[in-house]
Structure 1
Amino acid sequence: MAAAGGAGRRLGGADKPALTVGGRPLLDLVLAACPDARQLLVVGPERRTERAGVRWLREDPPGGGPVAAVAAALPEVTAPRLLLLAADLPFLDVATVRRLLAALDDPARDGALLVDADGRDQPLAAAYRTAALRTALAALGDPAGRPLRALLAGLRLARLPDPADASFDCDTWTDLAEARERAERR
């Protein structure tokens, strides 16, 4: 599941998932990091992607935030585990996705998220048990405008260091320029 419905306010309302790094739209880079996904659910306005089989969903209200996006997608999830990924992660890779999912092999964990170099949790670069998220969402009530930390507060989460900078996201024009420079160097 990818969340592509943010307003992109720090980018002046630009269509963030369509912005390119390394010549590819950000959303396509995120979807490419999940080649083994049986379901591809994207919450946000429908757009063209390189990946076939994407199912488009909308949060209520549109732009209602990440918890509203989870609420829109969760009823459609059929797998026992899911990836919750922002649509602006240009350096997310297959190895990181597999590492997140492997962390859920421990039955004591409800989820696994990346922790960036500054020590900040990245809950939109994470894997979760579907049942745990459903329980947390039901307990939360109305999801519109609620912070993701409220949804995840009661979950038992593994926090994985992010040495590859896979959780680097493009929230500002400066971030986007940095991502493009990094992509050129790679």
Structure 2
Amino acid sequence: MEPDALEYDAVILAGGRSSRLGGRPKHRLTYDGATLLQRSLDAAGGAGASVVVGPDPGVLPAGVISCREEPPFAGPAAAVAAGLAALAGSGAVRPLTLVLACDMPNVGMAVHALREALQLHGPPRERNAPHPPVSSRGPQALGPDGVMAVSADGRRQPLVGFYSTPALERSMQDLRSRGALTNSSMTALLASLDVQLVTVPAGSTDDVDTWDDAAALGVASQEP
């Protein structure tokens, strides 16, 4: 399968408090002449539809929609849920959803690696579909619910992954039914998913939490 044949939408999270950056929104920081939000949108190129979840994303490219999780700052699981709802409201419901945070300046390399994994193994199978013969699946055959980035040193990054849209919806509804969606983590949202870990290039999931992180990665504060 060619990567461009993937059918997916993108949910880009841009709604954290940035408390360790003095409240400066991460998505407005710049790297190599572009904001971190624009770099995430570029990394999601090829998505059928994209939504940015967070306050005041600024001017967005044509066709990109925006929304906000409720209540504000309710955590990444609630933000993904808001993004999925916004996509569904726009008529976009594709088999896969690319979930990205907007604080990783080199995330495009990680997304490329995930796309290569999907190209090599084929898209995730439906959960109830029969398994191919073991001899043809190989040890790294994909599970039913997608692929997630993991760094070379073994750190999982759930905010860089292609996930089965129906599986995300099921998990979201389960958390909501238990009153647990607000303030839930991505780990909680993905706990019931069968996701393949894919090792991505060094540095591609390094994120900006502090000004020291920004300096180490060459990320700058946006000029007024």
Instruction: Normalising by structure 2, report the TM-score.
Output: 0.75
Residue in 2 that maps onto 1:128: 163
1:165 aligned onto 2:200: no
Displacement of 1:97: 5.2
Deviation at 1:49?
Answer: 4.5
Cα distance per residue 1:132-180 (max 9 Å; x no partner): 0001111112311112111111110110112243211111111111111
Are positions 1:80 and 2:95 aligned together?
A: yes
> 2 CA distance for matches of 1:136 and 1:106?
17
Among 51, 73, 77, which residue is 1:41 paired with?
51
Distance 1:51-1:166 versus aligned 2 partners, 3 A rule: farther
Residues 18 and 144 of structure 1: CA distance in aligned 2, closer, same or farther (over 3 Å): same
Seen in structure 2, the aligned counterparts of structure 1 residues 31 and 70 have a Cα distance that, compared at 3 Å, is same
Q: Secondary structure at the match of 2:153?
A: coil
Partners of 1:50 and 1:74 lie apart in 2 by 18
Note closer, same or farther for the CA distance 1:155–1:104 as it changes in structure 2 (3 Å cut): farther
Measured at CA, do residues 49 and 165 of structure 1 come closer, stay the same or move farther in structure 2, by a change above 3 Å? farther
Q: Which residue of 2 aligns with 1:150?
A: 188
Q: Could you tell me whether the CA contact under 8 Å between 2:113 and 2:198 is conserved in 1?
A: no
Contact 1:59 1:69 (8 Å CA) reproduced:
yes
**Is 1:65–1:144's contact at 8 Å kept on the other side of the alignment?**
yes
TM-score w.r.t. structure 1 length?
0.89
Cα contact 1:104–1:129 (8 A) shared by 2: no
- 1:99 equivalenced with 2:109 (yes/no): no
Question: Is this contact kept in 1: 2:78–2:183, CA < 8 A?
Answer: yes
Q: Which runs of 5+ in 2 are unaligned?
A: 1-10, 126-142, 220-224
Q: Which amino acid aligns with 1:84?
A: V
For 1:125 and 1:31, how far apart are their aligned partners in 2?
A: 13
- Higher mean alpha-carbon deviation, 18-27 vs 71-80, is at 71-80
1:138 aligned onto 2:173: yes
Q: Does 1:26 align with 2:36?
A: yes
**Identity rate of aligned residues, in percent?**
40
Asked if structure 2 preserves the Cα contact closer than 8 Å seen for 1:43 and 1:56, the reply is: yes
Is the contact between residue 96 and residue 166 of structure 1 (CA under 8 Å) also seen in structure 2? no
Asked whether the equivalents of residues 18 and 25 of structure 1 are also in contact (C-alpha less than 8 Å), the reply is yes
Query: How far apart are the structure 2 equivalents of 1:138 and 1:87?
Result: 25
Instruction: Say if 2:21 and 2:210, in contact at 8 Å, map to a contact too.
Output: yes
Larger Rg: 2
| Aligned amino acid, residue 94 of structure 2 | A
CA RMSD of aligned residues (A): 1.9
Greater CA drift, 132-141 or 91-100? 91-100
